[in-house]
Every structure is written in structure tokens, then in C-alpha cells.
Amino acid sequence: MIRELKLPGRQEVLIKLKSTGIYLLVPIVNFGVSVITSPIFARYLTAEEFGYFGYYNSLNNLFTVFFSLSFQTYYMSIYYKGNSDERKKTLVTLVIFLLIWNIVFLPTLYLSIYLFFKYSSSQIPFYPFALLTFSAGAFGIFKNFLQVNFRLGDKPLSFFFIVSGYKVISITISIYFVVYLNMRLEGRMVGILLVEALFFLISLFHIFYNSSFDLDKKVLKHAIKIVLPLFPASLLYIPIINFDNIVLARLNNPAEMGIFNIGKGIATYLYTALFPFYQAFEPDIYKYAVTKNIKSLKKVIIFLLLIVIISVIAFWIISPYIIYYLTAGKYTSAVKYANLLVITNGLMIVFSIFDAIINALQETKKHLLINAITALLCIFTYMLGGIYFKQLGVAVASVITYFFLVLFQGFFILKKYKSGK
């Protein structure tokens, strides 16, 4: 039993990291860019603007599942099941349908949110932030298909460009609008939208290159059949990851919501740093899960869990110094939020690992059940935390929610493999 749980050997890990070494440049570049530019944004944006930015990011994430229809997850689940021609046909079909779908959905969403703001007591400004945010969200889903192609197809240089290239260009343009044109938060969002539009065009060129503009109804029908239970599961996952800012907005304290989001954003650096480690092993996770190579799957999971635990502890030690520098000494009160939310970000990596296994097994109904239970728990804990403990209670609720989410996932995975089905 001890031998079965043995971690990947040193040589095995070194070979893996060497073959995917460029993936590890992604967090280095992204973190480096953030370290340089975060103090700039801190000087030019107010705490309230950080709050609005976090709120609209949460709203955008709320509707990402509608923009994408969970087709990216479906594409990942079939990536290793056919030849390159079949894979290309599937990709083209999914993208064509999403293009048509979003032409209809985007204006519908914008009108719906406008009516919500008009007839509610929200103190969050609507225009132009909603238009900029949702337009960027609609453009942004298409580059995700390229990320899947490059990651699962073992093309680290292309993956590096599409992820870190986007980050560098987006922040550079945003700084120009924020600092030199003095557009403040609007400039930050304009910069993001312009770069999303650029990468949208790059993605379409890559996807349709040497391919006909042909929507295969059979492929589409199968994709919809698979994602139907996954789609409501994704809808139920929405409050789990984004309900914090919805509750915070109701507390009517935009400045403290901004401090919360500053802490949340800096805690997210840990996720940014660790996610490429997960991505480096993601193809193996899918492969071992599908082929039921339990021994190898255990090794990868335990190795990644150890990295997460060590990283969270290291963050706690250095967070006061990081936040002081990144906020130019203005928002050091964000430390308490960052130290809690970094646990959430560590658990999000664990969630990604377990989620990959469940998706590889195409157990979308179980995925739906897990998310349904966790979503109910999420709404209860976030609202309770916000009512009695304000912003700090919301941060604690985030940790509790993700802890139970990965607990439910782990229980199902163990049960599935023990049953031998």
C-alpha cells in the first residue's frame, strides 16, 4: 500500500517539468507583470473603483457559462477520443454555433442587466462598465479553445503566447488608458476589451485556418446531449465562485468591497502561480482517469496537493510585505482578506484536479448533484456571513464553501473507482 501511494520519482518529475518547462513561465511572467503594474493601478484607482471592478468581474463570471455553453469542457472530454480531423470538425462546429448564439445572447444580457439596475436599489454605476465587461466576456471565450488545443496538444510555446501574451498586452494597454488618458476604471476596462477583441480575431483565424465554415449537426447534437446536465451544473457553480461580490454589493460599502477585492486579487496570484503546475499534469490526469490507471493518478494528485499546501503556508508568511508593495502602502488592510481567500484559491486548484477526473469520466450528472448541494450551502453561508460578520464573514464563507465542494468531489471519485465501474 505504501508503495502504491509513492509520489512521482524525482527523475520522473524532472522529465515532466523539463518537457513542459515553458508552461511554468506563465506564472513567472504573469506575476512579474502584476508586481510591476499593481502599484500603478493602486495609485490611480480608488478603493471604490476596485470594488466596482471586482463586482463586474463577478457578474461577467456569472454569465460566462451562457457565453460558452460549457462547450470547452465538452471539447476537452473528447480531445483524446478521435483523430485530428474529427477533433477539428468538432472544434469548428462548436465555435460556429457559439458565434451565432452570442450575437443573440449579448444584447439580451445587456438589456436584462440594464432593467435590473434600473428597478433595483443598486448603488453600482451601470454605464459604460456593463457594456465593456460583457462585450469582453463574449469575445474572451474563444481563446479558451486555443488554450485547450495548445495545452492538451503539448504546444507550450503557443500556450505561453495565448496566456502570458494576453496578460502583458492587456495590462500595457490598460495602463495607457488609465494613466496617460486619465480614464481611470473605464480605461482599465477599455484596455481589456480591446485585447479580448484582438485575441478573438487570432483565435478565429487559427480555428478556421484550412477548414470549411461547416456546422456538423450530428456533432452539435452529441455535444448538446453531453453538456445538458453539465450546463445546469455550471450554473450552480456560478454562485460558488462569484456570490461574494453579490453579497458585498448589498452591504452598501463600496470602499470596503474594494479592499476585499484587492485582497482577493492578490490572493489570486497563488492560483495564477499554481494553475500551470496543474495544467502541466492535466493531460496525464485525463489520461489516467479515462484508462483507470489509479496508481499513477494517485501519484499526480498527491504531488499537486503537497505543492498547494506548501504554497499557501508560504503566502501567509510573506503576504503583509507583498500587499504593502503591490498597493503602494495604501491598502494594507487587505491582508486579512488575502490570508483567508488564499485558502480558497488553493482549494480551487484541488477543485480543478477533481473536476478534470469527473469530466474525463463524463459523469456530468454527478457533477450536477455535487454543484447543486454546494450552491445551496454557498448561498446560505455567504448570506449568513455577510449579515453577521460583514466582509470578513464573506471571506470565511468562501473557504467553507470550497472545502465542502472538494470534499463532495473526493467522496464521489473514491466511490466511483472503488465500485470498479
Is 395 within the bounds of a domain? yes
Looking at the 3D structure of the chain, how many domains does it have?
1
Beta carbons within 8 Å of 82's beta carbon, 6+ residues apart: 90
Residue 4 confidence (pLDDT): 46
d(CA 166, CA 201): 13
Is 2 within the bounds of a domain? no
Residue 9 confidence (pLDDT): 52
Q: How confident is the model at residue 100 (pLDDT cuts 50, 70, 90)?
A: very high
Residue 87 confidence (pLDDT): 86
Confirm if 393 and 385 have CB atoms less than 8 A apart. Answer: yes
Is 5 within the bounds of a domain? no
Mean pLDDT of 55-80: 86
- Does 3 score more than 50 pLDDT? no
Residue 291 belongs to what domain range?
Answer: 10-419
Mean pLDDT rounded to a whole number for the chain? 85
Beta carbons within 8 Å of 218's beta carbon, 6+ residues apart: none
- Does 279 score more than 80 pLDDT? no
Confirm if 409 and 351 have CB atoms less than 8 A apart. Answer: yes
Is 4 within the bounds of a domain? no
Mean pLDDT of 158-180: 90
Question: Could you please report the per-residue DSSP string of 92-114?
Answer: HHHHHHHHHHHHHHHHHHHHHHH
Lowest-pLDDT range, 62-76, 174-188, 303-317? Answer: 62-76
Is 301 within the bounds of a domain? yes
Residue 377 confidence (pLDDT): 85
16 vs 136, higher pLDDT: 136
Confirm if 335 and 319 have CB atoms less than 8 A apart. Answer: yes
- Does 280 score more than 60 pLDDT? yes
- Does 313 score more than 90 pLDDT? yes
Residue 149 confidence (pLDDT): 86
Mean pLDDT of 51-55: 90
Q: Is the peptide bond before 128 cis (omega within 30 degrees of 0)?
A: yes
Residue 421 confidence (pLDDT): 58
Q: What is the pLDDT of residues 373-383, one digit of tens each?
A: 888 888 889 89
Q: What is the pLDDT of residues 243-267, one digit of tens each?
A: 788 888 888 888 899 999 999 989 9
Residue 341 confidence (pLDDT): 95
- Does 2 score more than 60 pLDDT? no
Give the 3-state secondary structure of residue 183. Answer: coil
Lowest-pLDDT range, 6-10, 185-189, 193-197, 326-330? Answer: 6-10
Q: What is the pLDDT of residues 346-357, one digit of tens each?
A: 999 998 899 888
Mean pLDDT of 80-108: 90
Is 20 within the bounds of a domain? yes
74 vs 105, higher pLDDT: 105
- CA distances in angstroms from 259 to 53, 167, 392, 411, listed in the order given: 12, 23, 11, 36
Please name the amino acid found at residue 114: Y
d(CA 227, CA 203): 23
Q: Structure pTM? A: 0.75
d(CA 265, CA 41): 12
**Residue 6, burial from CB neighbour count under 10 angstroms (0-12, 13-18, 19+):** exposed
327 vs 365, higher pLDDT: 327
d(CA 388, CA 14): 49
Is 3 within the bounds of a domain? no
Q: How many other CB atoms are found less than 10 A from the CB of residue 84?
A: 8
Q: How many other CB atoms are found less than 10 A from the CB of residue 194?
A: 17
**CA 71-239-302 angle, 5° bins:** 70
